[in-house]
Amino acid sequence: MIKKNVVLIPLMKIMGLIMPLAFYAVLHRHVSINEFGIFQTLIGLLSFISLLESGVTPSFRNGVLLDGLKSNDVLSSALITSFFFSAIAVATICIVWLFFGKVLYPSILVPISFSIVSISLVGSCFQVYDDLNDNYLFGRFFDFISNIAGLLFACFLLYFSYGIYVVFFCVCLFKISWTIFSIFKYKNIVDVKLTRKNLMHAVFQGLGENSKFVSIQLLNTVVSFGIIYILCKYNTIAVYGVFAVFFRFLMVPVALYGSIAPILWGYFSRYKGKVKNNMMFFIFSSSIVFLLAYCILPYFVKFYLGADVQYPGDLFFLTAFCFTGLLKDVISTYFNAFRSYLFQIILLIANVFVLYYSDAMRYQIDELFLALIFYNIFAVLTMYVFMKNTNKVPLN
């Protein structure tokens, strides 16, 4: 069953990646280069909202796999906690936009769109519930279909010359379809009593027992937003738009791995140490994929966008960053499966300092990613040495 899902889910992910990439090609032909850059920035920020779930769904998964708890009971607690964090995310988004966001994004649709996606964090709990009950494909297939429908409708809006903020709102709106469907699907299965006592218990349990994973999620969010901040600070919005296209193509292998990471998480929890035997093969196969991408991508992007665009720097550094980042994610999955968070927190704090130093030194694109490559290599080697030479992951 695991092998079947490890094959089918990435195939579905590939199909799900094709439509957004095709949509960006349509978008580039219907809007100005500055508007294209603004849209890419919004999408870049949007992709990191999922990190704000603050360990709710991973804690849910660990509670069932490692503690032997009943998935229905843990799901109820996870849903209450996710509702709480979604409300916090929505309030934060609105406050940030009110004081800072009007300069770059004057439309009220921007905070509304981000708030909608924040609510979709609740749906991730239902997806984990399906995973734990060996129903891997249904939720991902439903999400895949709804996202395609949203992009097709967005193309329809572009054809009739609607603005990019309306198009962005449309894309976000379709992202909560799985959440709405899941609430109606499981309303008779899960008993969620949203009382003050239950809310406080769920929230403090999530923040107390899972505070280390919460820290990892927040630090990942800081790192992700930090990269976007530095790129936008020292480059024009148009340059960032071109950069984002190259970055999205190189992140396809990372996205494919992310689609099966929850399954591998459970697999590593049940069968300790299996990841060690396949590490060298994974490194070799991934290096071939990224090498081919480095050679082909400059020519493909010109055809893809229908314009003579060039990557604003040396593509080798961005390719190496994505490759080393993928290796780091793979080893992190193994650490997460055993709730080994403290070591990752230390490494992420070091990553934040790398970004702070890069900003202080006014690093341009190539210099920024060269610094991040060295950090990724250090993190990969450090985690791999511990993983290879110990039967139990250190620093739990």
For the chain, 396 residues long, give each residue's pLDDT as a single digit of tens.
Answer: 444 455 555 566 666 667 777 888 888 888 888 888 888 888 877 766 655 554 455 555 555 554 544 555 656 666 666 666 677 667 777 776 676 565 556 777 888 888 887 777 677 667 666 666 666 566 667 777 887 888 888 888 888 888 888 998 888 888 787 777 777 776 665 555 544 555 555 555 555 555 676 677 778 878 888 898 899 888 888 899 899 999 988 988 777 666 555 555 555 555 554 555 556 666 777 888 899 999 999 998 988 888 888 899 999 999 999 999 988 887 887 777 666 778 888 899 999 999 999 999 889 999 999 999 999 999 988 887 877 665 554 444
Structure tokens at 84: 């709480």
Q: Which of 209, 228, 262 is the last residue of a domain?
A: 209
Same domain, 125 and 169: yes
The Cα–Cα gap between 102 and 110 comes to 9
Residue 334 amino acid letter: Y
Alpha-carbon distance of 61 to 158, in angstroms, equals 40
Query: Computed from CA positions of residues 64, 270, 48, 44, in that sequence, does the dihedral angle turn out positive or negative?
Result: negative
Question: Are 248 and 284 members of one domain?
Answer: yes
Distance CA(343)–CA(352), nearest Å, equals 15
For residues 49 and 91, state if they share a domain: yes
In a domain, 6, yes or no: no
pLDDT at residue 46, as a whole number = 75
Number of domains in the chain: 2
For residue 112, tell me if it sits in a domain: yes
* Co-location of 45 and 134 in the same domain: yes
Query: Domain check: are 277 and 251 in the same one?
Result: yes
Q: Is residue 22 part of a domain?
A: no
CA dihedral sign, ordered 251, 313, 19, 238: positive
Residue 3 is assigned to a structural domain of this protein: no
Residue 299's domain comprises: 211-396
In terms of domains, do 315 and 387 share one?
Answer: yes
Is 7 domain-assigned? Answer: no
Residue-wise burial string across 81-105, b where 16 or more C-beta atoms lie within 10 A, e elsewhere: bbbbbbeebbeebbeebeeebeeeb
Question: Do 149 and 253 fall within a single domain?
Answer: no
**Chain position carrying tokens 């991902």:** 140
CB 111 within 8 A of CB 91: no
Do both 173 and 157 map to the same domain? yes
Distance CA 217, CA 206 (A): 13
Give the whole-angstrom CA distance, residue 87 versus residue 81: 10
Same domain, 88 and 232: no
Cα separation, 281 vs 200, whole angstroms:
46
8 domain-assigned:
no
* Residues 224 and 252 both lie in one domain: yes
Whether residue 357 is contained in a domain is answered as yes
Model pLDDT, residue 32: 87
Tell me whether residue 90 is in a domain: yes
The alpha-carbon radius of gyration of the chain (Å, integer) is 21
The dihedral formed by the CA atoms of 95, 96, 98 and 102, expressed in degrees to the nearest 10: -170
Enter the pTM of the model. Answer: 0.77
**pLDDT at residue 394, rounded to an integer:** 44
Q: Are residues 134 and 196 in the same domain?
A: yes
Q: Which of 300, 228, 310 is nearest to 38 (CA)?
A: 228
Residues 303 and 257 reside in one and the same domain = yes
Q: Among 209, 231, 254, which residue terminates a domain?
A: 209
Dihedral sign, CA of 210, 5, 279, 318? negative
> How far is residue 57's CA from residue 179's CA, in Å, rounded to a whole number?
14
Spell out the residues 6+ positions from residue 290 whose beta carbon is closer than 8 angstroms to its own: 250, 253, 319, 320, 322, 323
Predicted pLDDT of residue 54: 45
CA–CA gap between residue 118 and residue 189 (Å, rounded): 24
Give the Cα separation of 198 and 378 in Å (integer).
43
How much is the pLDDT for 50?
57
Final residue of a structural domain among 169, 185, 209: 209
